[in-house]
Amino acid sequence: MDINSLLGAPKACECGKTHGCDIKSVVIEKNAVAKIPELAKGYKGVLLVADRNTYRVCGKDVEALGIHKDIFVFEEEGLVIPNEKAWGEIQSRVTDEIDLIIGIGSGVIQDLCKYVSFLCKIDYFIVATAPSMDGYASVGAAMIANDMKVTFSAHVPKAIIADTEVLKDAPMEMIVAGYGDIIGKYSCLNDWKLSALVNGEYFCQSVYDLMMSAVKAVRPLSKKLLERDGEAVGALMEALVVAGIAMSLVGNSRPASGSEHHLSHYFEITGILENAGYFPHGIDVAYSTVITERLREELLAIKELPASWEFDREKWENNIRALYHRAADGVIALQDKMGWYQKDYLSIYREKWAEICAVLSEVPASKELEELFSEVGLTMDKFYAMYGEKKVNDAVMYAKDLKDRYSVLWLYDLIKEAN
């Protein structure tokens, strides 16, 4: 896939929108770091940002290029938390002389550099150190503010640089997480189609196809990824970047995040609220993809739709308060604003049930997904050992309430609650 053909000025699309992406260059190859001086030409003051680990694996090579004015390496050994303190530290290094931040890292470093460069209204590049998540090319910066997980809307990098020699040596758990995040797109792409059918939500076939072809390219690579094959790791990175670009093209997260992500966010948020454990993002997404596919299969087996349905506000609100603790008010306010509990979805389901079933049946079977994930060491018993039945069931019923996005979780909730 030629990623660079997706970049640049907006082009008209059959879906009625024009799609553009502000990223100027994506370089995923052996020795990609050598391309940085050329890409950074024209900038007057470069600030490099890394943490101790990413400095060791790649930052020192970027430093050796000698193109920077300043370098900031987080002092803490171990994970940096992307909170007010961390972004304040970077921001304090952005003097009048700095017009480009080059972040070296994956999740946290790229979120921080994305956000600070946005606040300071300057450009940033990201030098990726792990193919672990799909945020590289997206506008969202996942941060912790007031101890809560929030996603700030920021901007995309001007360049994404990924050296396959660095990526392939990333911790295996991060590579597996990236694989999970990509295979999970089967679920979110299906939710997008479902929402277009049920809610008349905007849908773009060509962005859908773009994402799906990247998923299909990555799907057979599990064995090669475990062997740290450079080409396979490069293909995974490409798919992760494509996911970010796909989000930029349509202007929302639909092509890359659906019910499987909502479940993963539920595990993460309740983990933070309850001080309980949770898996790295892409690994939660992988397990959750199996779960949401089981829901689709359960729905497909239904012989008859319920005769009626009524929203039990009191029960719902009590459960939201019990599960979301101090975040409950925000969740309730969001759903009051959305008004989907008041909408007559049952009539829509009746009218379109055959088409709905046709959409639901497009995702690979849950058994097939389980097999794919077990090839990279992710088995469902590990998932249940972490969360237990109850938490998984709670996620299935209440993760959707965190979001303003329709998905199979809404369909499943109505059918379950009515029966």
Residues 6+ apart with CB under 8 A from 153: 139, 140, 141
Residues 6+ apart with CB under 8 A from 155: 22, 114, 117, 118, 139
Nearer to Zn ion, 33 or 243 (CB): 243
Least Cβ distance, residue 38 to Zn ion (angstroms)? 31
Binding characters for Zn ion, 202-241, by CB under 5 A (x = yes):
--x-------------------------------------
Using CB under 5 A as the binding rule, the residues of this chain from 26 to 55 that contact Zn ion are none
Least Cβ distance, residue 174 to Zn ion (angstroms)? 13
Is-contact 51 73, C-beta < 8 A? yes
Stretch that binds Zn ion, among 8-16, 318-326, 350-358, 363-371 (CB under 5 A): 8-16
Least Cβ distance, residue 100 to Zn ion (angstroms)? 27
Question: Which residue, chain included where needed, has tokens 């910066």?
Answer: 141
Query: With CB under 5 A, what is the number of residues at the site for Zn ion?
Result: 4
Query: Tokens for 183?
Result: 């295979």
Stretch that binds Zn ion, among 11-19, 123-131, 137-145, 172-180 (CB under 5 A): 11-19
Least Cβ distance, residue 268 to Zn ion (angstroms)? 11
Q: Which one, of 356, 363, 352, 249, lies nearest residue 15 by Cα? A: 249
How far apart CA 185 and CA 177 sit, in angstroms, is 13
Nearer to Zn ion, 181 or 370 (CB): 181
Stretch that binds Zn ion, among 6-14, 33-41, 226-234, 363-371 (CB under 5 A): 6-14
Nearer to Zn ion, 48 or 225 (CB): 225
Nearer to Zn ion, 196 or 204 (CB): 204
Nearer to Zn ion, 46 or 402 (CB): 402
Binding of Zn ion by 15 (CB under 5 A):
yes
Stretch that binds Zn ion, among 15-23, 43-51, 90-98, 112-120 (CB under 5 A): 15-23
Torsion of CA 36, 103, 128, 245, to 10 degrees: -90
Using CB under 5 A as the binding rule, the residues of this chain from 168 to 207 that contact Zn ion are 181, 204
Tell me whether residue 275 is exposed, middle or buried, using C-beta atoms within 10 angstroms of its C-beta: 0 to 12, 13 to 18, 19 or more: exposed
Residues 6+ apart with CB under 8 A from 117: 101, 123, 124, 154, 155
Among 1, 13, 215, 380, binds Zn ion (CB under 5 A): 13
Least Cβ distance, residue 15 to Zn ion (angstroms)? 3
Nearer to Zn ion, 13 or 34 (CB): 13
Least Cβ distance, residue 88 to Zn ion (angstroms)? 27
Least Cβ distance, residue 295 to Zn ion (angstroms)? 19
Nearer to Zn ion, 14 or 314 (CB): 14
Least Cβ distance, residue 184 to Zn ion (angstroms)? 7
Order the strands of the 25-29 sheet from edge to edge. 25-29, 159-163, 123-128, 100-105, 46-50, 70-73
Q: For residue 16, how many other CB atoms are within 10 A of its CB?
A: 8
Is-contact 141 80, C-beta < 8 A? no
Strand 8-12 relative to strand 18-21, pairing: antiparallel
> SS3 for 127?
strand
Cα 305-309-310 angle, rounded to 5 deg: 170
Binding characters for Zn ion, 59-88, by CB under 5 A (x = yes):
------------------------------
Nearer to Zn ion, 15 or 380 (CB): 15
Nearer to Zn ion, 150 or 333 (CB): 150
Least Cβ distance, residue 181 to Zn ion (angstroms)? 4
Is-contact 294 402, C-beta < 8 A? no
How far apart CA 67 and CA 47 sit, in angstroms, is 9
> SS3 for 332?
helix
Binding site for Zn ion (CB under 5 A): 13, 15, 181, 204
